[in-house]
Amino acid sequence: MKLEKLSLGVYPTPLYKLENISAKYGRGIWVKRDDLCGVALGGNKVRKLEYLLAQARAQGYDTVFTTGGAQSNHAMLTAACAARLGMDCVLLLKKRGVTERRGNLVLDDIYGAQVRFVDTDSYDDIYAEMDRLGAELEKAGHKAFHIPVGGSTPLGALGYADCVREMAEQLPDHGAQVGHIVSATGSGGTTAGLLLGARWYLPHAQVTGMGVDDDPFEDIVPVLADGAAELLGVSADRAPGDFRMVYNVGAGYAVPNPEDTPYIRELARMEGILLDPVYTGKAWSGMLKLLKEGGFAGRGDIVFVHTGGAAALFAMDLA
Ligand SMILES: Cc1ncc(COP(=O)(O)O)c(C=O)c1O
Domain boundary among 135, 151, 167: 151
Predicted local distance difference test score (pLDDT) of residue 239:
87
In a domain, 226, yes or no: yes
How many angstroms does the Cα of residue 201 sit away from the middle of ligand 1? 22
- The answer to whether residue 72 is catalytic is yes
Query: CA 27 to CA 163: how far, in whole Å?
Result: 23
Q: How far is the CA of 210 from the centre of ligand 1 (A)?
A: 11
What is the C-alpha to C-alpha distance for residues 300 and 287, in angstroms, rounded to an integer?
Answer: 15
Burial of residue 132, with CB atoms counted within 10 A of its CB: 0-12 exposed, 13-18 middle, 19 or more buried: exposed
pLDDT in tens, 280-301: 999 999 999 999 999 998 779 9
Instruction: Provide the domain count of the chain.
Output: 2
Low-confidence ranges of the chain (pLDDT < 50): none
pLDDT of residue 280: 98
Q: Who lines ligand 1 at CB under 6 A?
A: 43-44, 73-74, 150, 152, 184-191, 279-280, 307-309
Query: Could you tell me if 167 and 258 lie in one domain?
Result: yes
| Domain-terminating residue out of 114, 133, 151 | 151
Mutate to test the pocket of ligand 1, among 41, 44, 243 (most ligand atoms within 8 A of CB): 44
Would you tell me how many other CB atoms lie within 10 Å of the CB of residue 52? 25
pLDDT of residue 223: 97
Domain with 210 in it: 15-44+152-314
Q: Which of 91, 307, 314, 316 to mutate to test the pocket of ligand 1 (most atoms within 8 A of CB)?
A: 307
Peptide bond into 14 cis (omega under 30): no
- The values of phi and psi at residue 295, to 5°, are -80, 0
- What confidence score (pLDDT) does residue 1 get? 64
Strand order in the sheet with 206-211: 15-17, 29-33, 301-306, 178-185, 206-211, 243-247
CATH code where residue 56 lies: 3.40.50.1100
Instruction: Tell me, rounded to whole angstroms, the distance of Cα 93 from its chain centroid.
Output: 17
Residues 319 and 299: their CA atoms lie apart, in Å, by: 33
Using a 10 angstrom Cβ sphere, with 0-12 exposed, 13-18 middle and 19 or more buried, the burial of residue 140 is exposed
Cα of 187 vs centre of ligand 1, distance in Å, is 7
Taking CA atoms, 126 is separated from 71, 173, 197, in Å, by 16, 47, 31
Residue 50: predicted pLDDT: 98
The model's pTM is 0.98
